[in-house]
Protein backbone atom coordinates (compact mmCIF):
# COMPACT_ATOMS: atom_id res chain seq x y z
CA UNK A 1 0.00 0.00 0.00
CA UNK A 2 1.48 3.36 -0.96
CA UNK A 3 1.60 6.39 1.34
CA UNK A 4 -1.45 8.12 -0.23
CA UNK A 5 -3.53 4.93 -0.04
CA UNK A 6 -2.36 4.35 3.53
CA UNK A 7 -3.40 7.88 4.55
CA UNK A 8 -6.80 7.49 2.86
CA UNK A 9 -7.30 4.13 4.57
CA UNK A 10 -6.52 5.63 7.99
CA UNK A 11 -9.00 8.46 7.35
CA UNK A 12 -11.67 5.96 6.31
CA UNK A 13 -10.99 3.84 9.39
CA UNK A 14 -11.18 6.87 11.73
CA UNK A 15 -14.43 8.01 10.08
CA UNK A 16 -15.89 4.51 10.35
CA UNK A 17 -15.05 4.35 14.05
CA UNK A 18 -16.86 7.64 14.65
CA UNK A 19 -19.91 6.75 12.53
CA UNK A 20 -20.24 3.26 14.02
CA UNK A 21 -20.00 4.68 17.53
CA UNK A 22 -22.92 7.00 16.73
CA UNK A 23 -24.94 4.24 15.04
CA UNK A 24 -24.35 1.81 17.91
CA UNK A 25 -26.04 4.22 20.33
CA UNK A 26 -29.25 4.20 18.26
CA UNK A 27 -29.28 0.81 16.56
CA UNK A 28 -29.05 -2.21 18.80
CA UNK A 29 -27.39 -4.64 16.42
CA UNK A 30 -24.25 -6.64 16.99
CA UNK A 31 -22.20 -5.91 13.87
CA UNK A 32 -21.62 -3.07 11.43
CA UNK A 33 -19.02 -3.32 8.68
CA UNK A 34 -17.55 -1.54 5.68
CA UNK A 35 -16.57 -3.80 2.83
CA UNK A 36 -15.09 -3.42 -0.62
CA UNK A 37 -16.25 -5.67 -3.43
CA UNK A 38 -13.01 -6.57 -5.15
CA UNK A 39 -13.97 -8.57 -8.20
CA UNK A 40 -17.68 -9.29 -7.98
CA UNK A 41 -16.91 -12.54 -6.18
CA UNK A 42 -15.08 -11.54 -3.00
CA UNK A 43 -15.90 -8.92 -0.37
CA UNK A 44 -12.92 -7.47 1.52
CA UNK A 45 -13.83 -6.36 5.04
CA UNK A 46 -12.23 -2.97 5.66
CA UNK A 47 -13.61 -2.14 9.11
CA UNK A 48 -15.86 -3.97 11.58
CA UNK A 49 -17.66 -2.96 14.76
CA UNK A 50 -18.77 -5.96 16.85
CA UNK A 51 -20.80 -5.10 19.94
CA UNK A 52 -20.87 -8.36 21.91
CA UNK A 53 -20.10 -11.35 19.75
CA UNK A 54 -17.25 -11.21 17.24
CA UNK A 55 -18.69 -12.46 13.97
CA UNK A 56 -15.66 -11.53 11.86
CA UNK A 57 -12.74 -9.12 11.92
CA UNK A 58 -11.30 -6.42 9.70
CA UNK A 59 -8.94 -7.57 6.99
CA UNK A 60 -10.63 -10.80 5.96
CA UNK A 61 -12.14 -11.66 2.59
CA UNK A 62 -15.49 -13.41 2.31
CA UNK A 63 -17.38 -14.81 -0.64
CA UNK A 64 -19.74 -12.03 -1.70
CA UNK A 65 -22.86 -14.10 -0.95
CA UNK A 66 -21.69 -14.78 2.63
CA UNK A 67 -20.92 -11.12 3.33
CA UNK A 68 -24.56 -10.02 3.08
Share of the chain above pLDDT 70, in %: 90
Sign of CA dihedral 51, 56, 62, 66: negative
The overall average pLDDT reported for the chain is 82
5 confidence band (pLDDT: 50, 70, 90): low
Instruction: Return d(Cα 7, Cα 9) in angstroms, integer.
Output: 5
- The 3-class secondary structure across the chain, one letter per residue, is CCHHHHHHHHHHHHHHHHHHHHHHHHCCCCEEEEEEECCCCEEEEEEEEECCCCCCCCCCEEEHHHHC
- Please compute the mean of the pLDDT values over residues 44-64 and round it to a whole number: 89
Is the pTM higher than 0.85? The answer reads no
Query: Of 24-28, 42-46, 48-52, 62-66, which gets the smallest average pLDDT?
Result: 62-66
Amino acid sequence: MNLVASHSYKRLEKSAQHIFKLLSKNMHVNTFCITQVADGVQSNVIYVFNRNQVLFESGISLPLGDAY
